[in-house]
Amino acid sequence: MTDVRELETRIARLFAERLEVEVPSPDLDLFEAGVVDSLMFVKLLATLEEQFGFRLAFEELEIDDFRTVRHMARFVAAKRRSAEPGRVSASG
């Protein structure tokens, strides 16, 4: 299983390389700080889906899961765990 800190690093790198935004801290509230607006959020979701190989249904979209890099890392880790063979999804 991928460590959450490793995911934080990967997500921060995605912000820098794909979205051209430097995130100073994994705990920074990206919406409150004005780093992520609605258009950036759509790009962010598409980038996360592409990089980590999952699809996000509208019903599972909780803004708090994407408020900070740390929250995103935990969300991605949970999505990956739920996709492992033999695991039962809470939504299914």
User: Is 92 among the domain residues?
Assistant: no
Tokens 């959450």 sit at which residue? 4
Q: What is the number of domains present in the chain?
A: 1
Give 76: exposed, middle or buried? Use CB within 10 Å, 0-12, 13-18, 19+.
buried
Q: Which domain holds residue 41?
A: 4-81
- Grade residue 92 by pLDDT with cuts at 50, 70 and 90: very low
CATH number where 66 lies: 1.10.1200.10
Mean pLDDT value across the chain = 89
- Grade residue 2 by pLDDT with cuts at 50, 70 and 90: low
Provide the pLDDT for residue 69.
Answer: 98
Provide the pLDDT for residue 6.
Answer: 96
Provide the pLDDT for residue 10.
Answer: 97
User: Is 87 among the domain residues?
Assistant: no
d(CA 24, CA 16): 11
Provide the pLDDT for residue 1.
Answer: 43
Does residue 45 contact residue 86 with C-beta atoms inside 8 Å? no
User: Is 65 among the domain residues?
Assistant: yes
Q: What is the pTM of this model?
A: 0.85
User: Is 41 among the domain residues?
Assistant: yes
CA distances to 17, 28, 29, 66 from 32, rounded to whole Å, are 22, 8, 5, 12
The pLDDT tens digits of the residues spanning 33-63 come to: 999 999 999 999 999 999 999 988 889 899 9
